[in-house]
Structure 1
């Protein structure tokens, strides 16, 4: 069993974890930007922007993410990492747009009316009154979405043969055929996912408590 826990093997798995987090962080960052734009568009009372945002969100959310990975990779012929980032950004943008829209709607109408009475424009109200409060309210949900993205990056190995955390683990499994070694390796993989996602979940819970206490 000692031959499994070598420095080279651990570094090999950490490289996969780095790629998993790299794709996840970029996807969440870009999705937060695009999701905010879509949420504002969909929150309009009427108009073509509202329809564009609604159509995008409903189509993307109701199609499995793994299909978007196939579509982006096969149609646009991107490199594996770029295809992974693009597909997760497309899918996560739709999910975050609904989270952000809920955050926008959570701001009390009285505060908006008070800002209007002070002569603030709609854009000023959005950027100075609504968004700061909405972001604070929706941070826990965004962190939970981050956990989902990290777990779902495991699709990239089966679709793109991308050597993220699961991909690296599967490569190592090809080198060790003993049943006990395979179980230990799967257990180590599950432990890594658990530690990363549990840490993020704890941060999300603390953010939720801090939000409720304010």
Structure 2
């Protein structure tokens, strides 16, 4: 069986792929065994180094407070960056130059700057020109950097999602008298959300991971920052500490992606199952009084 993008494999190709797969598995097993052997020789697999994470002492003292700060910074950044990114993305599609050009400049400017630079700049800004306490400045700096960078990236995701829709959608809505903001709110955005959801969730995962930059550089007491004191207190169990922290990040991001996949399936099923037809009365209600008989604006 073949298609335009794929030709069915012949006997030689199948044998070659089997050989490549076997070699890959053998090499991977050898690398894993080498890593295990090196860690064992260095004493990093001793039970004493992993015991604090099983008995819960490290969780209550280091990991749980750091996790709360990580989730706090990520949640604040998401809540601010999502609507700001949607606003900038829609603004870039405006027919008005005085709206479209400034929005484009803002998006391209902050999208081109590394998020760590934005965090450091935010920390210096809050230190120099505000009365925010020393303990709170790292949180404000981390959130500021994450919001500025990720809002710019989300703006491009929103713009691309809306532009991916057929032009006939907007033209048909304008033909029945809907204004531009109504076309965007009632026609384009609801359809684009499903297409944009995977990319949006990927960016939210980036937000969660990038909070670690604050812990590594700005002394923000997040999950990553808990590794250093934890390792010092429990006898240089650096490998164990990093492993547990990495697993926590994996669980958080996997939960976020799983929820997004479930939500995307629900949205697609809802679109397929609906058989509602928009009647003339509904169109009149969407238009403001006295405007539904006018042409598109």
Shift of 1:5: 3.8
Whole-angstrom distance in 2 between the partners of 1:155 and 1:197 = 16
RMSD across aligned C-alpha pairs, in angstroms? 1.9
Q: Deviations over 1:61-111 (max 9, x none)?
A: 111100000111102325221221122111111010011111221232212
Normalising by structure 1, we get a TM-score of 0.90
Shift of 1:26: 1.5
5 Å matches for 1:23-34? 23-34=73-84
Shift of 1:170: 2.1
Whole-angstrom distance in 2 between the partners of 1:127 and 1:46 = 18
Shift of 1:206: 4.1
Whole-angstrom distance in 2 between the partners of 1:211 and 1:26 = 25
Aligned equivalent of 2:67:
17
Contact 2:122–2:140 (CA under 8 A) maintained in structure 1: no
5 Å matches for 1:19-168? 19-45=69-95, 47-77=97-127, 78=132, 79-168=137-226
Q: Which runs of 5+ in 2 are unaligned?
A: 1-47, 273-297
Highest CA radius of gyration, 1 or 2?
2
Shift of 1:52: 0.9
Secondary structure at 2:235 match in 1: coil
Whole-angstrom distance in 2 between the partners of 1:10 and 1:28 = 26
Q: Deviations over 1:118-172 (max 9, x none)?
A: 1111111111111222223212211111111111111001221011110112221
Whole-angstrom distance in 2 between the partners of 1:3 and 1:86 = 35
Whole-angstrom distance in 1 between the partners of 2:262 and 2:249 = 20
Whole-angstrom distance in 2 between the partners of 1:67 and 1:6 = 39
Q: Which runs of 5+ in 1 are unaligned?
A: none
Shift of 1:6: 3.8
Q: Which of the pair has the greater relative contact order for Cα pairs under 8 Å at 6+ separation?
A: 1
Shift of 1:187: 1.2
Matched, 1:7 2:56: yes
Normalising by structure 2, we get a TM-score of 0.66
